[in-house]
Amino acid sequence: MDRESGPSGAAAAVEPAVTRVRHPRDGRGCWNRPSRMFAAQPWMPTLINFLHTGRPAHGSASACAAGKLAGLPAGLWAVAAVALFAALPAHAADRPSGSRTPPVAEKGHGQDTGRLAGGQRGLATFMAALTKLERAPRGTVQILQIGDSHTAGNHFSGALRTLLQGRFGDAGPGGFPPGPSYKGLYSPTVTLGPQSWTVSGGLEVKSGDIVGFSGFQATSAQPGNALSFESKGDAPVTAVSLTLAAGPAGGTLLVEADGKPVRSVPTKGPRETGVVVPVPLAQPARTITLSPKGDGRVTLLRVSLKGGNKGILYESHGVIGATATLMRRWHEPTVAAELQALRPELIILAFGTNEGFNASLSADDYRTAFRERLAVLRRQAPWASILVIGPPDANRLPKGCPPEATASCASVRPQSGSCAWYPPPELATVRTIQRSEALSAGAAFWDWSAVMGGACGTHDWGKATPALAAPDHVHFRAEGYRMAAEALFNDIMELHQAPPPARGKPGPIRLPDCRGTVYLNGSIQCLR
């Protein structure tokens, strides 16, 4: 197998919010390297400065630490860098000279053309739920998104949540992992208070572990060790749902709302399994606090907060470096119980980048595995619409090519000795398989790469002013994720055929017929 380097510097081994990139030094694929938690690492401040500015922090010690970053294992790179890239503002050093605008594909039309395929059939339940929500005085529509690092960063799902809630109403923060699954990740709906629970999971989950669809556990046995969630929204929380691991060694969890005791939840049981516990609140609250009583270990798998308004509840769970097959390792009875309790009208699967950077990927094996995951999900939630989001465009460099000296991108791998970014061919294979299997299973498929104009779109987005993609050619900055989410929102609204929203409320962008579109001066504009 011809091994090639990934992007150099901080971008090198970033786990695309949905991807796997190779290590800049040894060419090893991140998909073979489990991620590690990086809390309390002494080099973290230097890394953050290095990613933000492209320069090490001042001082010989910091410079030395930055100099060692290139030798970090790929797994550590992935965990440390992925969330930071999306949130970083476009730095002047990253911008090319002159004004550049990235291509944005034309707006899709209909359920089986453009970016969205199979929408009329695959999203029928979701469309009916949105129509009912519009006409009813109260109610909620629940959306669940599961994916890799593109999902873990929360910028894509956060933007889509904002658009949908702006159109149909905000029913609350929704669900999220049991504590900070990755340090530094942005949460659009809640503020996590300081905590010292032990968080584990992600790529390190083994078959048999009691883990639900968040992919993580947070564990503590110390009395008074509080884990708090404060809603960022305007409306207070009126109901809480907790997924907990029960077992012979389980202790009691104390639940407080705005500092007042609400409920004691025992987790001791005859066998280890996951349980979903609803906790209604007598009075609306802003902050929910969870702490062990001290009579045994408490293991939290997921938290969901609901408000009292009608509208959209949206929760997303991402694992950095994940492929769709990671779901095999989750505890199936726990996932089934969570889905039964949540009853989502729409389930979004957003994997594929990491698979697409696996040069040894077997198309037949991946097709079988992806088909199996769709079948399991359909069996567990037969009522739900399923939307598969294909991986966005991403690019890599041939081995030995320095990123700082490479300004071009080719749609296919360049000839030996030539240096240019190019999309790994396996990425298109993954996208094709996902589309085919989604439509065969009665699900819908949305092509993220089509938003970017196809091959080399990430390269063009990275050269835009301001930059929309990160230097690693895999991840995006916050505005790039927002643009992609807005495109999906517009496609959903076109399928829904919703009436124009009232003045002052956000709604889909309607462009006149045009040859194409570009992102210019902060908005999508028509090319005549």
pLDDT of residue 109: 38
Region 18-22: what's the mean pLDDT? 31
CB 10 within 8 A of CB 69: yes
d(CA 375, CA 437): 10
Where do we find the tokens 């299997």? Answer: 437
Q: Distances in Å between the alpha carbon of 252 and those of 203, 245, 353, 421, 520?
A: 28, 11, 40, 54, 55
Domain for residue 231, yes or no?
Answer: yes
Give the residue among 78, 90, 92, 96 at the shortest CA–CA distance from 12.
78
Domain count, the chain: 1
CB 291 within 8 A of CB 224: yes
Q: How confident is the model at residue 184 (pLDDT cuts 50, 70, 90)?
A: low
* Domain of residue 196, CATH code: 2.60.120.1360
Domain for residue 274, yes or no?
Answer: yes
Domain for residue 191, yes or no?
Answer: yes
Region 280-305: what's the mean pLDDT? 95
CB 501 within 8 A of CB 512: no
Decide if pLDDT at 465 tops 80: yes
Decide if pLDDT at 136 tops 80: yes
DSSP 8-state code for residue 182: S
Q: Which domain holds residue 182?
A: 176-308
- The pair of structure tokens assigned to 121 is 């059939």
Decide if pLDDT at 95 tops 70: no
CB 395 within 8 A of CB 461: no
Decide if pLDDT at 470 tops 70: yes
Region 224-233: what's the mean pLDDT? 88
Q: How confident is the model at residue 45 (pLDDT cuts 50, 70, 90)?
A: very low
- Tell me how long the chain is: 528
Domain for residue 79, yes or no?
Answer: no
Give the residue among 172, 101, 106 at the shortest CA–CA distance from 143.
172
Give the residue among 231, 235, 277 at the shortest CA–CA distance from 252.
277
Domain for residue 499, yes or no?
Answer: no
Q: At what angle do helices 124-135 and 155-168 cross, to 10 degrees?
A: 40
Mean pLDDT: which of 59-63, 365-369, 453-457 is highest?
A: 365-369
d(CA 342, CA 239): 13
Return the H-helix or E-strand segment holding 231.
strand 227-231
174-176 vs 190-192, strand pairing mode? unpaired
Task: Order the strands of the 523-527 sheet from edge to edge.
Answer: 103-104, 516-520, 523-527
pLDDT of residue 426: 92
Domain for residue 483, yes or no?
Answer: no
Domain for residue 35, yes or no?
Answer: no
CA 279, chain centre distance (Å): 27
Prior bond of 96 cis (ω within 30°)? no
pLDDT of residue 490: 95
Query: Does residue 203 sit in helix, strand or coil?
Result: helix
Between 298 and 101, name the one with better pLDDT: 298
Between 454 and 9, name the one with better pLDDT: 454
d(CA 70, CA 402): 13
Predicted confidence (pLDDT) per residue in 151-182, tens digit: 998 899 999 999 999 999 999 999 989 877 77
Return the H-helix or E-strand segment holding 501.
none
Q: How confident is the model at residue 53 (pLDDT cuts 50, 70, 90)?
A: very low
pLDDT of residue 18: 31
pLDDT of residue 254: 97
Farthest CA pair distance, the chain = 69
Region 35-42: what's the mean pLDDT? 38
Domain for residue 214, yes or no?
Answer: yes
CB 439 within 8 A of CB 425: no
Give the least confident one: 59-73, 102-116, 262-276, 367-381.
59-73
Region 236-261: what's the mean pLDDT? 96
- Residue 297 has phi, psi (to 5 degrees) of -80, 135
101 CB-near residues (< 8 Å, 6+ apart): 464, 465, 518, 519, 520
263 CB-near residues (< 8 Å, 6+ apart): 254, 255, 279
pLDDT of residue 400: 79
Q: What is the mean pLDDT of the chain?
A: 77
Q: How confident is the model at residue 405 (pLDDT cuts 50, 70, 90)?
A: low
pTM to 2 decimal places? 0.75
